[in-house]
Structure 1
Amino acid sequence: MTPTAPDRLVLVGGTIHDPATGRDGVIDDIWIEGGSIVARPTDPSSFRQIDCRGLVVMPGGVDLHSHVVGPKVGFGRRVAPHLARSPGKPAAVPTIHATGAAYAALGYTTVFDAAIATSAAALAHLELADLPILDKGIYLLAADDVAVLNALDRGDACETERLVSDAVRAGRGWAVKVANPGGAVFWRKGRGDHHDLDAAIPGHDLTPRRLLERLADAVQAIRLPHPLHVHTANLGLPGNWRTLLETMRSLDGRRAHLAHVQFHSYSGGDLDEGSFGSGVAPLVEFFNAHDSLTLDVGQILFGETVAMTGDSAAAEHLAHTTGVPWVSHDLHLSGGCGVLPIAYKEKSLIHAWQWAIGLEWFLCATDPWRVALTTDHPNGAHFTAYPHLMALLGDAAFRRAAFDRIHPAVRKRSPLKDLDREYSLQELCIVTRAAPARIAGLPQKGHLGPTADADLTLYRPDRDLARMFSVPAKVFKRGVLVAEDGHVRATPTGGTLAAS
């Protein structure tokens, strides 16, 4: 479907939730011209009116951390074909066209793939060109490149900055991602001793801690829009809260974004009494006190999905733990991913803890402007489950009912049982739109002020938040109606976001 060119529109009488401009449930009009939001014109007679009375109006959603293109996604479709034909459910790893349509129908208009090897960037961009409707970009795994790693090892800041800048420019990336700092080298060398940030990377004097510090400095020095995107070591392992805390301490004073923190917030192992559980309390205390850090949660939700991570060591560990088949392309590229199917179950002790830990992060982080709502699609859950997650955050009774169904040991020990915070509509708008746009460095996204892209989502108010956010009444992309009541109406070509 080829859309008509955006014309002059005015959305009349909607209930505006736009945290960036301070509008919290304000009834107002939104004026659109040439695909952008504009101030009220002196002559409004040429603007076509769209009646939005009774509808909630928000900016289009921004998914800061997802996995939608690249070799890992192709492997994901093949490794779990049974998850592509579940009746009434979207494919766990949908086709590129279905991905764009489903995001748009949900009210999302921008997405980033958070783990692309630099040598796979050209392939990823071929796929992005076929991703309809959405604006999109990629984060590059630049620290897996041998030349970058060697420059970091030497402590050569100028050379590191040059190489990272060249990699981002050549790969048309938006940001730099580090997945398990130095982990690809540990894994290829068959080393099983990568349990902290201070073990030297095989063949180098460099430690993961120094890698993080030097790479964060380089990203800041070359002025990328988004700070270093950090997936730290020991993903998914008991006791890994200590690694995340040390990561935050190492980055203190530097801008950095912490990815899918839920997967890095577990107590357990030899140093923790009571074995597996939540390590969120000391982590969120540190996070709340250090405003140079931002995060996305990577919430898990119960059901079947596919895990794909730029940390092949973590994927191998998960495969051996669960006994399912897995695949990795780390051996064929400078950096890559491990992929395998997974099923999260309410009555599983581990999975119930993961579910509760993610919600604990959401409910204990005090500043929603530093938090992005994610499930690390598809790792924790499919992105189409975001409305369910929003209901868990915004409806304490709904959350308590879900909590009552999980493993009894988690119900007894989890701090979640004592948390009664409910996100307001304004806070839900922040963590799904305003904050991800600001964290990503997108000044024209996530708000409805003049000069913003005319990406808007209109919802019917409903006390059932999952129902409200599942099927928007209308979705506009740069002023074009792209979805209505769950049906795609137009498939314009979205833009590719690349740092200059």
Structure 2
Amino acid sequence: MGLLRITGGTVYDPANDIDGEVRDVWIDNGKVIEAPTDAERRPDKTVDATGMVVMPGGVDMHCHIAGPKVNAARKMRPEEKRVSEPVRRGPYTRSGTTGSVPSTFATGYLYAGLGYTAAFDAAVPPLAARHVHEELHDTPIIDKGFYVLMGNNHYVMHQVAKNEPDRLRAYVAWLLGAAKGYAVKLVNPGGVEVWKTTGGNARTIDDSVTHFDVSPRQIIREVARTVDELKLPHRTHIHCNNLGLPGNWVTTKQTMESLEGHRGHLTHIQFHSYGGDPDDQDTFHSKVPELVEYVNTHENLTVDVGQVMFGETTSMTGDGPLGYFLHQIFHRKWFSADTEMEAGCGIVPVEYKNKSLVHALQWAIGLEWYLLAADPWRIAMSTDHPNGGSFLAYPEIIALLMDRGRRQDVLAQVPAAVKERCTLADITREYTLREITIITRAAPARMLGLTQKGHLGPGADGDVTIYQPEDDIQRMFELPRYVIHGGEIVVDDGQIQPHTDGRLLHVEPSYDEACLPDIQEWFEKNYSIQFRNYPVDISYLHEHEVIKTV
């Protein structure tokens, strides 16, 4: 790999208080190092970044890029594959298809081409972990990991209801380690189980979950407590109840309060920030100011946005009742799945239209979150790919955040009522390059507890993106001049170069193994399952592909 020197670039590294300083970055054996003091030690390769902008590699902390749900969505969208531009094969790439749900190879190439060097799939049932590992292994260049679904897991709900914190803690830790996942994910906690058993949903966080005598509030509180007790690097990752419904801001605030001071990350917060009557779409309006005020004053909370962008995309979610709700709204084809004892799934093609008041408000509400958040270190860029739009829309979002005039131009094209139902038109704030670096790199890395990513200090992974400044901000971020992953130049002027594929990021928390016999007995008694063979055997993974972060 050798010694790499990046010289003359204007460096943005907020984690190390570097804000647009011209300096060199040195990378040795895949890691950032201090500048060598030995005058005789010369770099094996030098990248001249004079006049260019240098940032750490991008980190996407919430996307959907692997597993059964993603493959089901690919199968549902053959019409996209006929019209979307394929990934062109080169000497160092394989062919792939694009569209809203790209194939594995295309996903890795497209992320790298955008300047991203790490991405995390946000919703994996433990029973699907083997499949997800196979797909992530097939996704080139970038480092990756995934979050394990637990908000509707039968054993989790059983132990929460029985108030058995020791067994709950042992099970959560064992499940994360067995699946080789990175974090704990709650999706519509309790509500998916209600959907699977009765066709209903949990409409408040105090509804009782069928057969378990437990509420979403209890699930959220006790799982968040467990995550903190296990000292996991990332806080509990929460997809709130009532996603997409007018009036859901009440549920969202109650979810924040139910954490009772424990750490929580509320994902795709845009979809949970709506005022109005759940039975009347005409009452739809923004409640971002009220929610962002709460987040601003509670440091236990972080969020990513889930920005909606206009155009055709595919909704895929572990929230089964949401999938059915979207099917009823869009009248498009619909896929629903039940992962036994664990989770559900809903997939629907969607199109966000700028002439739709609701869709335009969703677009505006996402931007409100970015622009009203007081601390950029507690908000991360996301489109909930592909739910709000493709990750390929990130450069356009960056341009909207950095240029108020561009936002005003879009507002002039959408229904006039948007200005009356949200605050976006009155917000004058424009993001700086430092703030863009935070929300796309430094903040998601810090939220995830990835001390080796999101910065360019000594010991950091040698992940660097180098941009050629342009007046057209969107184009600047669409076409990095160089992308470096682990000290290797993987993209040079838009062309994929020879590369080493990325690593799996996962946790292996410690736990009291004395609890395992009781857990095993419960599984065998209730489900006739050999506990130690559940969820999967992934011993085939090679150690050099795995980073143990805890």
Q: TM-score range by the shorter chain?
A: over 0.9
Match of residue 284 from structure 2: 276
| CA-to-aligned-CA distance 1:64-111 (integer Å, 9 cap, x gap) | 000000101001111122122334584110010000000000000000
Say which SS state the counterpart of residue 390 (structure 1) adopts.
helix
**Where does 1:36-51 land on structure 2 (aligned, <5 Å)?**
36-44=31-39, 45-47=41-43, 48-51=45-48
One-letter amino acid of the structure 2 residue matched with residue 60 of structure 1: G
Deviates more, 1:486-495 or 1:157-166: 486-495
Is 1:231 equivalent to 2:226 in the alignment? no
In the alignment of these two chains, the number of paired residues is 495
Is 1:438 equivalent to 2:433 in the alignment? no
Q: 1:356 aligns with which of 358, 361, 364?
A: 364
Determine the C-alpha separation between the residues in 2 that align with 1:91 and 1:462. 27
**Where does 1:111-190 land on structure 2 (aligned, <5 Å)?**
111-190=119-198
After superposition, the CA RMSD in angstroms is: 1.5
The answer to whether the 8 A contact 1:15-1:55 is kept is: yes
The answer to whether the 8 A contact 1:118-1:141 is kept is: yes
Determine the C-alpha separation between the residues in 2 that align with 1:466 and 1:103. 16
How does the TM-score come out when normalised to structure 2? Answer: 0.88
The answer to whether the 8 A contact 2:383-2:390 is kept is: yes
| CA-to-aligned-CA distance 1:295-345 (integer Å, 9 cap, x gap) | 000000000000001101111111111111111222556213211100000
Identity %, equivalent residues: 45
Determine the C-alpha separation between the residues in 1 that align with 2:281 and 2:245. 15
Match of residue 397 from structure 1: 405
Question: CA 1:424/1:95 → structure 2, altered by over 3 Å: closer, same or farther?
Answer: same
CA displacement at 1:274 relative to structure 2: 6.9
Say which SS state the counterpart of residue 330 (structure 1) adopts.
strand
Determine the C-alpha separation between the residues in 2 that align with 1:238 and 1:87. 33
Match of residue 329 from structure 2: 321
CA displacement at 1:273 relative to structure 2: 11
Q: 1:420 aligns with which of 424, 428, 449?
A: 428
The answer to whether the 8 A contact 2:182-2:506 is kept is: yes
Unaligned runs of 5+ in 2: 87-97, 509-550
Q: Which one has more relative contact order, counting CA pairs under 8 Å at least 6 apart? A: 1
Deviates more, 1:264-273 or 1:32-41: 264-273
Deviates more, 1:417-426 or 1:139-148: 139-148
Deviates more, 1:406-415 or 1:59-68: 406-415
| CA-to-aligned-CA distance 1:23-57 (integer Å, 9 cap, x gap) | 10000000110000000111253213221101100
Is 1:289 equivalent to 2:285 in the alignment? no
Say which SS state the counterpart of residue 336 (structure 1) adopts.
strand
Determine the C-alpha separation between the residues in 1 that align with 2:433 and 2:425. 23
CA displacement at 1:414 relative to structure 2: 2.2
Determine the C-alpha separation between the residues in 1 that align with 2:277 and 2:156. 34
Unaligned runs of 5+ in 1: 1-5
Determine the C-alpha separation between the residues in 2 that align with 1:85 and 1:16. 41
CA displacement at 1:271 relative to structure 2: 9.8
Give the 4+ runs in structure 1 shifted more than 4 A.
270-274
The answer to whether the 8 A contact 1:70-1:124 is kept is: yes
The answer to whether the 8 A contact 1:330-1:338 is kept is: no
Question: CA 1:273/1:314 → structure 2, altered by over 3 Å: closer, same or farther?
Answer: closer
Determine the C-alpha separation between the residues in 1 that align with 2:75 and 2:473. 34
CA displacement at 1:142 relative to structure 2: 2.3
One-letter amino acid of the structure 2 residue matched with residue 16 of structure 1: V
Deviates more, 1:195-204 or 1:467-476: 195-204
Question: CA 1:80/1:271 → structure 2, altered by over 3 Å: closer, same or farther?
Answer: closer
Q: 1:76 aligns with which of 73, 76, 85?
A: 73
Say which SS state the counterpart of residue 198 (structure 2) adopts.
coil
CA displacement at 1:489 relative to structure 2: 1.1
Determine the C-alpha separation between the residues in 2 that align with 1:361 and 1:85. 36
Match of residue 83 from structure 2: 86
Question: CA 1:442/1:342 → structure 2, altered by over 3 Å: closer, same or farther?
Answer: same
**Where does 1:184-223 land on structure 2 (aligned, <5 Å)?**
184-192=192-200, 194-223=202-231
CA displacement at 1:144 relative to structure 2: 2.6
Say which SS state the counterpart of residue 329 (structure 1) adopts.
strand
The answer to whether the 8 A contact 1:85-1:91 is kept is: no
Question: CA 1:331/1:51 → structure 2, altered by over 3 Å: closer, same or farther?
Answer: closer
Deviates more, 1:322-331 or 1:233-242: 322-331
Deviates more, 1:465-474 or 1:84-93: 84-93
The answer to whether the 8 A contact 1:117-1:333 is kept is: no
The answer to whether the 8 A contact 1:17-1:23 is kept is: yes
